């Protein structure tokens, strides 16, 4: 076989191999898939950071914390994760796939199912992130909500989530100036599913 013909054959084989190779998932899709592996399961959590310390009673300290990967009708596009604090079932994290990445919103409800004055706030991922960690700087809509409701400290919020399937899930809130709140959930030990969140 002539050298030129040999080069063509080798190139053709290489191209065929590339054509059959699976396309790597975008980090946002890999993150959603990792969390969706736990659809239907609930897990207990614990506070691993809550800074700075406050002299006022904290709404989370000393209460059972449970996340429930519940809304999985279209897991590649949206996941609903209620976050229960003791008997308070007002909180649901809403993760949605967008053309650019992921959006995180906080759906807050009263016990009768009506929306709280502060609800559906959050942000969109500003970077590609990774299959393990995604960050969500506060969006303009949420800033307007916080200013309207007198929660000016929240206008610089950045939320983050981390997931390592079968190991741990982390929810994080951070602000410039030292505010850091983190809850870590043990994915190795499912717990009984809690009641449905308020308004579901």
- pLDDT tens, position by position, 144-200: 999 999 999 999 999 999 999 999 999 999 999 999 999 999 999 999 999 999 998
The predicted model scores a pTM of 0.87
Render pLDDT for 117-155 as a digit per residue (tens, 0 to 9). 999 999 999 899 999 999 999 999 999 999 999 999 999
- Class for domain 25-191, per CATH? mainly beta
The 10 Å Cβ neighbour count of residue 159 is: 21
pLDDT of residue 58 exceeding 90, the answer is no
Rounded to 5 degrees, φ, ψ at 174 are -135, 150
Residues in the chain: 200
Bridge partners (DSSP) listed for residue 133: 162
């Amino acid at each position: 076989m002539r050298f030129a013909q040999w080069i063509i054959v080798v190139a053709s084989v290489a191209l065929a191999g590339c054509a059959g190779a699976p396309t790597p998932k975008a980090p946002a899709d890999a993150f959603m898939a990792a969390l969706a592996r736990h659809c239907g399961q609930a897990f207990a959590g614990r506070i691993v950071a809550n800074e700075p310390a406050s002299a006022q009673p904290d709404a989370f300290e000393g209460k059972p914390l449970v996340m429930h990967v519940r809304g999985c009708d279209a897991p590649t596009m949206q996941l609903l994760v209620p976050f229960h604090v003791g008997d308070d079932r007002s909180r649901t994290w809403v993760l949605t796939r967008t053309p650019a990445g992921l959006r995180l919103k906080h759906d807050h409800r009263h016990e009768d199912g009506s929306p709280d004055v502060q609800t559906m706030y959050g942000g969109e991922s500003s970077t590609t992130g990774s299959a393990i960690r995604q960050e969500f700087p506060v969006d303009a809509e949420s800033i307007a909500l916080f200013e309207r409701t007198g929660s000016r400290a929240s206008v610089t919020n950045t939320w983050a989530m981390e997931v390592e399937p079968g190991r741990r899930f982390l929810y994080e809130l951070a602000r410039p100036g030292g505010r850091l709140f983190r809850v870590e959930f043990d994915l190795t030990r499912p717990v009984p599913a809690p009641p449905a969140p308020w308004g579901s």
